[in-house]
Structure 1
């Protein structure tokens, strides 16, 4: 690691070129769109994202910097058992398909802006809405922290420390805020398309380079790993298998109700566009997460006995060594360099935009200043975004755990809003009181287990225990509450799409 190819002026040039490109995209995406004067235009791109841009913005949202910078080190630490990362990413698409098409149809008809607009509309309860806002903002804040930490690790690792962790985080926050303010969701979505494409190319090139480092073959890979870390290739024990199932459920459901993912559902041009984008997303877990998993496994053979903190820099170590092979791999790792940073920023900008929209529309617009204009709401959202970034920067200097730990923490609490979507959109009898107490008690169980140090019990995450109790409260509580026929008819009217509406929404016409 003494002869680092990504040192000095090369790293600065690469990052500067990327920064300029993103700002230029933000400028042209927002030019003439009046993105700062309309909340719909700024936060939802005017509800007009086509299939290609929608696909890539969904892809870049789900496959963040944590996918490459965080998942590969986790595969290094866990070994072959981390293959679970592929099915839990696949399950996300399945959960989307359970509720996203109908939610989109209702959102288009009722002109929803934020995820809690659905909850306010369906349950007509201020306390349910406020509870959902709190849980979603908690999840978004944790997710944004994850991306800030990932930025620092990615740039510091890939440049061998030439660009310090702190400078990397601050510099790219400024870039992100600039293009996001210039173009809103449209700028975010277009940059996502660029970054998603780079990510796919970069991961493939890193994998090819890693195989070159190991000698070009895979026949002896397991034997090599067994000689340095026998546990990495062992058959998982019962506790690990249970943890697999827990993680698959936690991530599959939790990621599907990401606030920024729900807003991308709202942003689709039509229901047909949404379904086609999701169908293509179903192919991405084995292509993206599967390749990252293999990179982590190759790391066991290439860099045995790394500590937890050292393993967090695995992708940087590998990229620099691949770059040292020859000039072709040097330029290949330049592409990877931009791809990883781009993937991180593409998720961070989405999270920040969603956080700002909920603060400006759900908190400020609904409870503080109901007469506020769209332009003022957008300004308030931008200002609160800066405050959030400042607070998270303070935490990011000394992150509370590994990227994977931060990744899990956000799901523990965020997943508690899932019954409001998965049950609420189909079950007419689901009551607001049951949803409120389910979310509250589920969040207390999940958060309490984390605080006292029991992230899992018998391999099952606290968020899953909380969600199980949450669902039970929702079902039993709703069945115990008498429901009038008038209420059932009202809920049916709210959640049903007639044939004419279905046809116009499906094709994107009015």
Structure 2
């Protein structure tokens, strides 16, 4: 290898820079491809505008969705932070494996319903579900802010990671500020070109790059003796089991990932999925990802303990870069491996940063700007791009401030978003959940979490060694339940006194909320339970109807078991197994306080990996056998309705082209419609006779006239009508076939 190509002690060599440059060029190509796709979709009359920009037109395919979800979950911390944690704490870093598996578990419960609601109800923003389900302006904006604030903080940390990574790779030749600025310009360029489609395509490149990088890590570790000798020679560091208190913290950390499924950038990917089959495949890949991605990162940190002994806490933060540079000095082949690992580190950080930017611009544009000004889609896209540019610039400036911690901001994001979980789960699977108790619980949970988070940064630390988010969600559920019970008792008292109406939004007792068509207290009935307490409009949103249909809420929609959530006993059993996995992080000691080592691993680590593997298999089986991925009947209903409306519009245009006639009474909101002349060769009586055959009762009179010439008739009608004169035109609300003499027109 030429010396110019090979790395020096203070430089990675131009070969590595070439590979990094090729990766960065691929992101621009992906942005251009996304831009062309968007133009093509618009030209063909397919989904466009904001839906195309933010949700890729709902058309992310199998490979793209799987890779973009993978790139979204695994940020730069997986490559940089997890190895450093494994170096310092040993196998405690395996908590990240169970954490990612928790994301896959909750995804098979939440994703099927979220995708169904997006298709049927036409959602654009991740917060649209909360507005649609609860019909509360305050709750909708509170959820938006709960998404926005921690995500903004975490995105700032990603920009800091971008700058420090470039500075570290170049050995200080490129400053952190300049490196972050250059990558940000590139990121903004491809995002503005293609929106989520461009982000997803670049994530696909990044995802394959990460998988390749992690595989190469394992190959290097295995080719250099594996980790068995490292563990045996440093048993005091790696083979000491956790205490019971440590086990509890291990499990609580993993359980905190249950809220990750409500990350707005994660929800966007699910909402943009092409179909349930695509979503299921992406979750199957995610279920395997702890072993494909997180495990190699942990093992790298263990191996680095042998390669770079006696690093202090600050020095250990650079374990990944030290490892890569050592790999690059071991020959031409390993130089290429090291260069790919460096490109992987940049890709991982950029994939998280671009996801954060597009979601922040979506939340600000759709949830806050749109309600104020009601601009056009084109204007909103300009606002969205401007918002991305402004926030990116602000993030670069803030990232230069000292004390910005990637791990700390990740924890803040995780624990605040956890508080939305009760509102989402109860809203999806129960009909009694109401905006008032849900809002009260969310406010209480957020307040306590924020207060305890501030306290945890002091010397006092977290209360009872429990993460603030868990205390917050406990108070959240407690306040929600207490408020619901209080409202229920108040309602029952009012009904008993005869002073309450079932149409009141405060009527939320179980006796008045049954299945569709049931009769509630007082003998009054209604068609939809949610119309009792969750109806109305939310200012600035484009919601369908006065409330969400109850048939979309609860278990066994349509009386069928179509989702893993419809098997609660199995899902709870799997959750218990995963939740207890951390408590198996124990093992018998040999009298010296150290665990027995088998197959190069401490016994407690081996047991943990076996249990985690069983849980992984359980998730995969649940996704394959319990999830009916055929098109849902409710989606078919919506598609049939859209097709009928499109056909009606087409027929009206064709009818209008035949000529102008008299005006007929329109349906509400339709406006006046001219009745075209009688088709050639048809009398008015014949047209009147053919109307019931040509169309359903809801069909308009104009359409019947337009299509009458296309319908074969067996003969003249039984009644005789003057072929030149028919009575006054009128239609009913339901457009029933009119009797002879209802329409008048001179031929």
**TM-score greater than 0.5 by the shorter chain:** yes
Q: Comparing 44-53 with 4-13, which one deviates more in the overlay?
A: 4-13
Match of 2:18 in 1: 13
2:225 is equivalent to residue 222 of structure 1: no
**Offset, 1:166:** 2.2
**Offset, 1:423:** 1.8
User: TM-score w.r.t. structure 1 length?
Assistant: 0.92
How big is each residue's C-alpha offset from its partner over 1:80-107, in whole Å with a ceiling of 9 and x where there is no partner? 1111110110010111111210121011
2:374 is equivalent to residue 363 of structure 1: no
Match of 1:320 in 2: 325
Match of 1:30 in 2: 35
| Unpaired stretches in structure 1, ≥5 consecutive residues | none
2:473 aligns with one of 467, 476, 493: 467
| Unpaired stretches in structure 2, ≥5 consecutive residues | 1-6, 43-47, 489-507, 514-525, 532-547, 561-629, 641-747
**Offset, 1:10:** 4.2
Q: Is the alpha carbon distance of 1:210 and 1:169 closer, same or farther for their aligned partners in structure 2, counting shifts above 3 Å?
A: farther
Q: Per the alignment, in what secondary structure is the counterpart of residue 428 of structure 2?
A: coil
How big is each residue's C-alpha offset from its partner over 1:403-454, in whole Å with a ceiling of 9 and x where there is no partner? 3222212112121111121221001111211221222211111111121226
2:98 is equivalent to residue 93 of structure 1: no
2:378 is equivalent to residue 354 of structure 1: no
Q: Comparing 117-126 with 153-162, which one deviates more in the overlay?
A: 153-162
Separation of aligned partners in 2, 1:216 and 1:422: 47
1:308 aligns with one of 299, 313, 327: 313
Q: Per the alignment, in what secondary structure is the counterpart of residue 304 of structure 1?
A: coil
1:334 aligns with one of 332, 336, 339: 339
- Return the structure number with greater helix share: 1
Q: Comparing 160-169 with 141-150, which one deviates more in the overlay?
A: 160-169
**Offset, 1:459:** 2.4
How big is each residue's C-alpha offset from its partner over 1:256-311, in whole Å with a ceiling of 9 and x where there is no partner? 11001111111011123212321232111121111111111112222233233322
Match of 2:724 in 1: none
Q: Per the alignment, in what secondary structure is the counterpart of residue 291 of structure 1?
A: helix
Q: Is the alpha carbon distance of 1:395 and 1:432 closer, same or farther for their aligned partners in structure 2, counting shifts above 3 Å?
A: same
CA RMSD of aligned residues (A): 2.4
Match of 1:130 in 2: 141
Q: Is the alpha carbon distance of 1:176 and 1:506 closer, same or farther for their aligned partners in structure 2, counting shifts above 3 Å?
A: farther
Separation of aligned partners in 2, 1:398 and 1:231: 34
Q: Is the alpha carbon distance of 1:208 and 1:164 closer, same or farther for their aligned partners in structure 2, counting shifts above 3 Å?
A: farther
Q: Per the alignment, in what secondary structure is the counterpart of residue 174 of structure 2?
A: coil
Q: Is the alpha carbon distance of 1:291 and 1:7 closer, same or farther for their aligned partners in structure 2, counting shifts above 3 Å?
A: closer
Is the 1:158–1:319 contact (alpha carbons within 8 Å) kept by the matching residues of 2? no
Match of 2:115 in 1: 104
Is the 2:120–2:638 contact (alpha carbons within 8 Å) kept by the matching residues of 1? no
Match of 1:423 in 2: 426
2:255 aligns with one of 241, 249, 252: 249
Match of 2:529 in 1: 488
2:424 is equivalent to residue 408 of structure 1: no
Is the 1:54–1:268 contact (alpha carbons within 8 Å) kept by the matching residues of 2? yes
Match of 1:121 in 2: 132
Match of 1:264 in 2: 269
Q: How does 1:55-74 map to 2 (within 5 A)?
A: 55-74=66-85
**Offset, 1:173:** 0.9
**Offset, 1:507:** 12
Separation of aligned partners in 1, 2:231 and 2:253: 25
**Offset, 1:152:** 2.6
Match of 1:289 in 2: 294
Match of 2:691 in 1: none
Which is greater in Rg? 2
How big is each residue's C-alpha offset from its partner over 1:30-85, in whole Å with a ceiling of 9 and x where there is no partner? 11514997110000000011111111111111111111112111222221111111
Separation of aligned partners in 1, 2:234 and 2:222: 14
2:91 aligns with one of 76, 80, 86: 80
Is the 2:227–2:299 contact (alpha carbons within 8 Å) kept by the matching residues of 1? no
Match of 2:449 in 1: 446
User: TM-score w.r.t. structure 2 length?
Assistant: 0.64
